Structure 1
Amino acid sequence: MTSSTRRAPRTIGAAAAVLVGLGATALTAAPAQAAPGFAFDQRISGPDRDATAVAASRLLFPTDGTGADVVVVNGAATVDGLTASYLAGLVSAPVLYTSTAAVPAGTAAEITRLGAENVWIVGGTSQVPAAQERAWTDAGLTVERLAGADRYATAAAVALADTEGPPEQVFVANGERLADALAVGPVAWQRNFPILLTRAGDVPQVTAQALDELGSGDRVVVGGTAAVSDATYTALGADQRLAGADRQETAARVADDAIATENFDPQSVALVGGADAMAADALVAAPLAGSRGVPVLFTGGDGTLGASTTAYLTARKADLTGTGWIFGGPAAVPQATADAATAAVQ
């Protein structure tokens, strides 16, 4: 990646109040509950995951012809795209989906609408066929593929895409548990923090090599000891662990940390489905949520709001004066769950 495509980490801070979709109310005397009318009523979705990705992209770049870069992953194999949020942040891009059979019509139309000049593919040819790459090249787009022999090597390739010096921080999450890597996606997008993957009981060699090459001294493990053991934490040379009792609580810990240390906005929050089957919605949420400094929470795996997410919303309700976002349709986040989230902050 050339220095011309790399952007500096954004500073959110006071500027967050003027971003589209965020409340502009100053955090002075906090109310005892969320602002009157605060509700989880901003749903970004489509009839399928491909269309949800397009809907998120259209909000990220509402003006036609203003998105020079797009990141493309296989929508049915999001494990390859777990760390794509970092790459999308480097080039200020949305994440769009394709399939092995063909590029969905909506995805193709969105690439055209954006006026994209560069397509960044994450994943090997078994997931994003070479024929699609050739078609984009033949259409005059510049195409770069980042891929490795497995999910760990692909994550390493993405993490090493930027050669402009060590990042301030690196996230490391379990490569077999989707949720933890997805929880830090908005921060990775916003702050240019790469995400590497590990196994619970040992560090893949390719991950260790990537950490050495990155040279970052600030390594944050995401997930509890069942996801990344204490021995693995030590082997990684980690400095911090963000974890809870389950994926919902871990996401809440990530949200707290993003607000406390990365100037994420406490006035707004987004919900995504917490089941692995809904991982695609969480991945495409990262660019839009990251661009607005909005933390993402998971619903329960059974479709309910879940105790940990309910507790987070209840504890933070005095701050919530902005927007309640939902990524994914009612099958991912049922309306009853959205209503329960609204009730939790009242």
Structure 2
Amino acid sequence: MISCKKITGAALSLALLLTLPGCTPNEQAVFDASMKMQKVHSMQEHTTMSFALSGSGFEPAVQKQVDTTAALLNSAKLDLDAKTSGNEQKTVVKSQVNMDLNAQGININMPIWVDMDISGKEPKLTEIIKFPPFAAASLPSQFAKKEYMVMNPYNTKNVPMDNIDFAKFMEFNTTYQTKWIDFLTSYSQRFNPNLNVTKVSTNGDNSVQKYTLKLNDAELKEFINYTVNNFAQDKEAMNFLKDLMTTMIDISKDTDKTKNLNDLDQAFKELDTSIPRFLAQFNAVMSQIKNVTFLGDKGLELNYTISDGYIIQKSGMLNLRVDLAQVNKLVSSLSGQQSAAANDQGALNLTVNFNTDITGINVPTDIQIPEVNKDNSFDYMDFLTVVMTPHRLAGLDRYHTARTIAEDYNKGIAKNIILASGTNFPDALSSSILSKKLDAPILLVGSTIGESSEALSYITAHSDQDTKIYIIGGTGVISEALENEIIKGGHATERLSGLDLYETNIAVVNKIGAESGTPVIVTSGEDFPDALSVSSFAGSNQYPILLVGKNYLSEKTQSYISTIKPSTVYIAGGVSAVSQSLEDQIKVLVPSTTVKRLAGSDRFVTAGAVISEFADNPNTVYLANGFNFADALSGSALAAKTGDPILLIDNNSETLPPAVEAYLKKLRDAGNSPIVRTLGGEGVVSERLIQEAQNILR
């Protein structure tokens, strides 16, 4: 249910937006000018801001930080040049803001542009930010060389907007401002906080008026107290708030829209009893806040210059004061127990001065929006994805790491889950193609139920009655007792297995149901590196992985190749892993098929040949230990989702394998800067190798 607290919180936010309305002539003059400014569609503004920070009484270490910050801030000057140009309806608007910050001889310039057109059926809103060079250099490698960041909230590729009814949203957008101004105008007649707005001066013909408002600490608290109490008890204000919240629910496509509307109605019906209770609590807190200083001796001062009914100049000063002893005493009083920081001492004073000149009111001005493309810009949502993405997927052991990877793969309910052995790699090597087919994470299990606790925990948290569990390998690899434990939990299971690893492999491959002519990948079932290096590409392309011995091609594998007649057979691994004689057998089975061997002098060079063949423009590269199959096996499901490569490394080496280094340089030189993610903890992939990979891509 929508709580009264949320409603009153929203009411407080709306109330504090009021620009000094009231019944006195001076307050009304400022309010009328503020409302007139709401209708301005074009103008230019120049704002300057300066700061003064001081602090005393802190512990030595804290005092040093305060003094350092004060030295930087007190030398700073911020200049904002803004211009806006739009139509009278404000449905087509362009704006530009140039921010210049000078501090201790350092100049930072950051322009921002906004291009909005919501006049048609498809709304457009593009925000472009140009980063200063030093800031751009500190961005993740794939963004560091880009000049602009682009934000587009209506870009459905990045932000799901299916829950918004755009037709209703556009109607709301065009009518809301009028309703907002009408409400404020009406409400101002009932809102009289008795602020002392002084008419400072006027010129001879009275065409320019200047007004000043000054508040000390006590007066500010009185204003806040009056505003909240007045708004919360105003019937029209509550109706306006309800109308606003109803509209926001109505323009959504939420499946629970009816329930949310009913909850909203119920919440407002309870206001008669809940608001008095809330105000009693609020007023009790305000009475205790009287002993805590918010404003310093200079207080708050706001100055307005009005000409022809418009505000053409604003200036002011805000002097804030924070006394830790007072704050700690208040916290202790409100919580009823001693504050953990009760012994902290010291007081901060911050004064902010600003001045804004407004010109060109309703005079269109030329604003040049920079041209952006994939070479000079990046999307904010792509940037956010990178920043929010955990770069290392690791746990306390291989089972915990697999659980961590599975959580990244699917944080919700999984319809399918794959279980593979964490101690026996052959049966699990072809799991990535099944993972992609079933959209299923791969979890590792041990020889006992206890060793499989991470997998069982994931199943409990991320499954429902329809979730199916696929078990790769026979009962000698994954026990019948574990399967029974899963069945007891109410889940259907399917075991894919055979008499040996090659039959198990074919059982998994048959589950994919590849069409005739689909390329296949042949790799060793006697060791894991070559199969792991190709696993994500096999999964993403749904190319069956066929496991073979060095000189052994099982009858079922031969039959599969003869039946599917692949257009291409890729052999992942050198002749020491898959012999030349076995390659010749394949050529006899499918004489018209292209056979291509991807191999090198060792596992790392072979992996380099594989990734060069299949991944020329990845979004992500995964680093995994080339001597430990478990983490790469779990990660193959994640990598297969997007066809991104798993790069095998030697954690005992000081540097990346030459083949991996060459591949990353090739990506960099082509202008590609993928995210670097890691499968496994520090013990299997060191930070120094991760840093090396990231540095290469910069």
How far apart are 1:152 and its partner, in Å?
1.4
Larger radius of gyration: 2
Could you tell me which of 523, 538, 550 is aligned with 1:200? 550
Residue of structure 2 in register with 1:286 after alignment: 636
Q: Which residue of 2 aligns with 1:94?
A: 441
The structural deviation recorded for 1:147 is 1.0
Amino acid at match of 1:129: S
1:310 and 2:657 are equivalent in the alignment: no
Q: Is the 8 A contact 1:167 1:194 kept in 2?
A: no
1:286-318 Cα shifts (integer Å, max 9, x gaps)? 111111332111102635422221222222223
The answer on whether the counterparts of 1:89 and 1:188 sit within 8 Å (CA) in structure 2 is no
Q: Distance in 2 between matches of 1:317 and 1:41?
A: 22
Q: Give a deviation string over 1:238-297, Cα, whole Å, max 9, x none.
A: 62111222211222222122235xxxx43431111111xx10111111111111332111
Cα distance change, pair 235–322 in 1 and its aligned pair in 2 (3 A): same
CA contact (8 A) 1:167 1:192 kept: no
Aligned to 2:529: 179
Cα deviation, residue 75, structure 1: 0.6
The aligned counterpart of 1:226 is 576
1:164 Cα deviation (Å)?
A: 6.1
Equivalent residue letter for 2:679: F
Which segments of 5 or more consecutive residues in structure 1 lack a partner in the other structure? 1-16, 20-24
The one-letter code of the counterpart of 2:665 is T
Give 1:185 deviation, angstroms: 1.1
Q: Distance in 2 between matches of 1:231 and 1:108?
A: 44
> In structure 2, how many angstroms separate the alpha carbons of the residues matched to 1:250 and 1:121?
30
RMSD: 2.6
Map Cα deviations across residues 169-228 of structure 1 (whole Å, 9 max, x no partner). 211101112111111111122121111111222322232123234443322111112211
**8 Å Cα contact 1:160/1:214 also seen in 2:** no
Separation in 2 of the partners of 1:79 and 1:160? 17
Report SS of the residue matched to 2:511. Answer: coil
Residue aligning to 1:8: none
Structure 2: distance between partners of 1:189 and 1:27: 28
Q: Tell me the secondary structure at the aligned position of residue 184 of structure 1.
A: helix
TM-score after normalising by structure 1:
0.82
Work out which of the residue numbers 269, 281, 285 in structure 1 matches 2:621.
269
CA contact (8 A) 1:43 1:329 kept: yes
Tell me if 1:59 matches 2:408. Answer: yes
Give the deviation of 1:76 after TM superposition. 1.0
Distance 1:215 1:138, change over 3 A: farther
Q: Which residue of 2 aligns with 1:105?
A: 453
Is residue 435–residue 441 contact of structure 2 (8 Å, CA) maintained in 1?
A: yes
Note if 1:250 corresponds to 2:599: no
Residue in 2 aligned with 1:139? Answer: 489
Structure 2 CA distance, aligned partners of 1:219 and 1:205? 17
Name the amino acid aligned to 1:142: A
Question: 2: distance between equivalents of 1:181 and 1:252?
Answer: 13
1:13 aligns with none
Find the aligned partners of 1:301 and 1:188 in 2 and give their Cα distance.
25
Q: Distance in 1 between matches of 2:621 and 2:535?
A: 14
* Greater RCO structure (CA 8 Å; 6+ sep): 1
Deviation at 1:135, TM superposition (A): 2.2
- Counterpart Cα distance in 2 of 1:27 and 1:268: 17
Instruction: Please tell me whether residue 71 in structure 1 is matched to residue 418 in structure 2.
Output: yes
Q: What TM-score results when the alignment is normalised by the length of structure 2?
A: 0.42
CA distance in 2, matches of 1:297, 1:74: 22
SS across alignment from 1:115: coil
Give the superposition deviation at 1:18.
6.0
User: CA contact under 8 A between 2:448 and 2:482: conserved in structure 1?
Assistant: no
Structure 1 CA distance for aligned equivalents of residues 639 and 448 of structure 2: 30
- Whole-angstrom CA distance in 2 between matches of 1:26 and 1:339: 29
Question: Deviation of residue 56 (structure 1)?
Answer: 1.0
Name the counterpart of 2:116. Answer: none
Change (3 A) 1:41 1:141: closer
Higher-strand-fraction structure: 2
Identity %: 26
Which residue identity is paired with 2:612? Answer: D
Q: Which residue of 2 aligns with 1:158?
A: 508
Whether the 8 Å CA contact 1:268–1:320 is kept in 2: the answer is no
Change (3 A) 1:109 1:203: same
Number of residue pairs matched by the alignment: 311
Deviations 1:92-112 (A, max 9, x none): 111001111115222111112
User: What CA distance in whole angstroms lies between the structure 1 residues aligned with 2:629 and 2:158?
Assistant: 29
Structure 1: how far apart are the matches of 2:595 and 2:680? 34
